[in-house]
């Protein structure tokens, strides 16, 4: 049901909440690299987007963050493509943490693997991938 713009001034509050996905085991359906901003500008550092199939949603969802333990503290970090001088993913980067946790050597090998999606924090309803 589409509401015409002129009707928005008289529109009331609905009773339906936005559905929230619960933490769950997910299957990685694909991986892509984002290297341009939403307005088409080249990004200084590319971002990895992990497409996952959540059991409670028909369409795949996109994740760009993982939850890791660093210095005995749980952190949520973005999957930025940090490369070393040899052109490999930097040791200790979020991507290397994810690849090591899943037990693969490259991003393309993530497809089909299962991993847990967890809440980013108690204050955030967004999910990220658990890599610890």
In a domain, residue 107? The reply is yes
pLDDT digits (tens, 9 = 90+) for 100-125: 999 999 999 999 999 999 999 989 88
Q: What's the pLDDT at 4?
A: 60
Give the domain extent around 123: 19-130
In a domain, residue 48? The reply is yes
In a domain, residue 5? The reply is no
- Choose between 112 and 11: higher pLDDT: 112
Q: Is the confidence at residue 67, as pLDDT, over 60?
A: yes
Task: Provide the number of structural domains found in the chain.
Answer: 1
In a domain, residue 1? The reply is no
In a domain, residue 44? The reply is yes
In a domain, residue 38? The reply is yes
In a domain, residue 11? The reply is no
Q: What is the DSSP string of the chain?
A: -PPPGGGGGG----SPPPP-PPPEEEEEEEEEEEEE-TTSPEEEEEEEEEEEE-TT-SS-EEE-EEEEEETTEEEEEE-B--B-TTSSBPTTSHHHHHHHHHT-SSGGGGTT-EEEEEEEETTEEEEEEE--
């Amino acid at each position: 049901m589409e509401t015409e713009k002129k009707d928005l001034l008289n529109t009331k509050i609905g009773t339906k909440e936005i559905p929230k996905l619960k933490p769950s085991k997910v299957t990685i359906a694909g991986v892509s690299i984002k290297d341009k901003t939403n307005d088409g500008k080249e990004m200084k550092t590319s971002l990895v987007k992990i497409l996952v199939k959540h059991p409670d949603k028909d369409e795949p969802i996109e994740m760009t963050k993982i939850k890791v333990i660093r210095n005995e503290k749980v952190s949520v970090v973005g999957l930025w493509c940090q490369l070393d001088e040899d052109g490999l993913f930097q040791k200790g980067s979020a991507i290397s943490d994810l690849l090591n946790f899943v037990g693969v050597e490259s991003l393309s090998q993530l497809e089909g693997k299962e991993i847990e999606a967890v809440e980013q924090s108690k204050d955030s309803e967004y999910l990220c991938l658990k890599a610890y």
